[in-house]
Amino acid sequence: MKLSGFAIGILLFSSVYAQDTITKKDIPAAARLMDLQFSDKEVDTMYDGVKENLLLFKAMHRQQLANGVQMSLAQNPALPGMIFPNKQEKIKWKIPKVNMPTDRNDLAFYSIEELASLIQSKKISSVILTQFFIDRIKKYGDSLQCVISITEATALQQAAEADAEIAAGKYKGLLHGIPFGLKDLFSVKGTKTTWGAAPYKNQVIEEDAYVYTRLREAGAVLVAKFTLGALAMGDYWYGGRTKNPWNTQFGSSGSSAGSASATVAGLVPFAIGTETWGSIISPASTCGATGLRPTFGRISRSGAMALSWSLDKVGPICRSAEDAAVVFSYIHGTDGLDASAVSKPFNYQPSADIKKLRIGYAKNYFDFIRDTSRSEWKVLETFKQMGVELIPIVFPDTAYKFNIMDAVISAESAAAFDEFTRNNVDDEMTRQSIFDWPNSFRVSRLMPAVEYVNANRHRYLLMQKVNEAMQKVDVLICPTRGSGNQSAITNLTGQPVVCVPTGFDKRTNAPFSISFIGNLYDEANILLAAKAYQLATGWDEMHPPKFK
């Protein structure tokens, strides 16, 4: 191979510039970290190229990359040949006629539809409702450690605007005048966006995130930004640990910790979370919320902190499946700023017959649960009592032969926080165990690009296996926890999942849950199944006594 003059120059420069930083003895040692072996002759041949690479890396390191800069490679969960609906049908919501409760505190646990009825009929104003929820946040936020900032002045201004629009006959729909909260990794102009981490606790990003923009267009009112585990891991943030409203001696799980805790405690009607690997489903399951993790790419992530470009997802955390459907109907889609986001229809019909759905259950996962009195088995009995003939499905857990998730999320998250590690910003983090991000990012720097690419090739095979299994059903009922690799698998393949409460652990008073897995871009059917279950059982109507 003939080298160009530029390449020769680089090699000559590298022999001087990198001579003291890399020796031939370094190469075999580095290779062992990557399960490779090189002969002495191979090392001699590699040496100049390795030094050249170091110069390339140093050149890249001199160019700052903001967290919001995307990869040019965009993840797509759809496989070749897949066809999806492209026409949005009108959703026929059924708005109940309700009156103001005798005890105004009951408003804390009214559904979005009930609150919308009160606002539309002018039985309550958005300003009064907004102040009601702000007061609850002030009263309970500290005990739950779920609030980073209260946006009171902005909220009251937005509520007054909603009231004026409604008075003028310009009612925008079910979210008009309804308060909500955001996980504090979404940027909103004029607010702090802390990412839950000490190094960024005073950070202000003058950008409005896509999901916030969509909610504001719908007339919703931002009352608070809620806690997340630092840099979207767990429920520990720079100010403490977010609590489970059912038992405040326990954490809420994470990383959408504050969004789940606040919603279940009735501090907001709903909140927005994100998930990379469990960050909506886990706190929803732990706190007894209804959490919807949509299909990957269903909602643009512009204005949100990036952790893993091929895994990050945005979704609503609510108290019922119907509420989740309402919120999702307003926020799905894209602004064109997220390379992985798409606009596809959400054809949810609240009155559809679930007996027309093909509903299955992950038999291999249920077989792990030998105690048939557990709530997971009771879920199946509930559907049978509704006249549903359940289809046993073997979910392809065996296709997950090694921890693909760890390879993908580790490489991408370390890249997203490259300068955080190289500039020792990680030293400012409040938690520094071997399981926390600072150490994880450091370890991930030693992952070869080849292994990251090959992990994604294995991921593609996994996507094929899961979509093949899911062709047999419209909805798959699956235990949320304790059996198999469902969480990692469905996050990697991009399948939508909704998690709902199913009862309580008598020892800890912590909620149990079940998950409904759907086909790509088919949130409508899993939400319909979840709604039917909730109507049959009423677990979504249970609220933590300390916050009533």
Q: What is the pLDDT of residues 383-395, one digit of tens each?
A: 999 999 999 999 9
Q: What is the pLDDT of residue 20?
A: 57
Domain extent listing, the chain: 5-61, 104-399+455-547
Residue 5: is its pLDDT beyond 60?
A: no
Confidence grade of residue 244 (pLDDT, cut at 50, 70, 90): very high
Q: Which strand (E) or helix (H) includes residue 148?
A: strand 147-150
Residue 105: is its pLDDT beyond 90?
A: yes
Confidence grade of residue 1 (pLDDT, cut at 50, 70, 90): very low
d(CA 342, CA 325): 18
Question: What is the arithmetic mean of pLDDT over 367-380?
Answer: 95
CA distances from 145 to 198, 405, 467 (A): 15, 30, 40
Confidence grade of residue 486 (pLDDT, cut at 50, 70, 90): very high
Q: What would the pLDDT profile of 126-143 be if each residue is shown by its tens digit? A: 999 999 999 999 999 999
Q: What would the pLDDT profile of 201-218 be if each residue is shown by its tens digit? A: 999 999 999 999 999 999
CB 499 within 8 A of CB 480: yes
Q: What are phi and psi of 381, to 5 degrees?
A: -65, -40
Percent of the chain with pLDDT over 70: 96
Q: What is the pLDDT of residue 130?
A: 99
Whether the predicted model's global pTM rises above the 0.85 cut: yes
Q: What is the pLDDT of residue 3?
A: 45
Could you give the angle at which helices 321-331 and 210-217 cross, rounded to 10 degrees? 100
d(CA 525, CA 531): 10
Question: What is the arithmetic mean of pLDDT over 9-27?
Answer: 63
Q: Is 373 left (phi over 0), alpha (psi -120 to 50) or beta?
A: alpha
d(CA 350, CA 347): 10
Question: What is the arithmetic mean of pLDDT over 500-509?
Answer: 92
d(CA 237, CA 145): 9
CB-hemisphere CA count at 13 Å for 155?
26
Q: What is the pLDDT of residue 520?
A: 98
Confidence grade of residue 2 (pLDDT, cut at 50, 70, 90): very low
Q: In CATH, what is the architecture of 104-399+455-547?
A: Alpha-Beta Complex (3.90)
Residue 509: is its pLDDT beyond 90?
A: no
Q: What would the pLDDT profile of 156-187 be if each residue is shown by its tens digit? A: 999 999 999 999 999 999 999 999 999 999 99
SS3 of 437, please?
helix
Closest CA to 228 of 268, 186, 197, 256: 256
Closest CA to 173 of 285, 80, 92: 92
Residue 369: is its pLDDT beyond 90?
A: yes
CB count, 10 Å around CB of 95?
Answer: 12
Residue 324: is its pLDDT beyond 70?
A: yes
Confidence grade of residue 507 (pLDDT, cut at 50, 70, 90): confident
Q: What is the pLDDT of residue 176?
A: 98
CB 196 within 8 A of CB 185: yes
Q: Which region among 11-15, 235-239, 295-299, 536-540 has the lowest average model confidence (pLDDT)?
A: 11-15
Beta strands in 309-443 (DSSP E): 313-318, 359-362, 391-393
d(CA 432, CA 416): 19
d(CA 294, CA 498): 8
Percent of the chain with pLDDT over 90: 94
Q: What is the pLDDT of residue 250?
A: 96
Cis peptide bond upstream of 255, omega within 30:
yes
Could you give the angle at which helices 152-167 and 112-120 cross, rounded to 10 degrees? 60
Residue 503: is its pLDDT beyond 90?
A: yes
In whole numbers, what is the pLDDT of the chain averaged over residues? 95
Question: What is the arithmetic mean of pLDDT over 519-533?
Answer: 98
Closest CA to 522 of 350, 281, 291, 295: 295
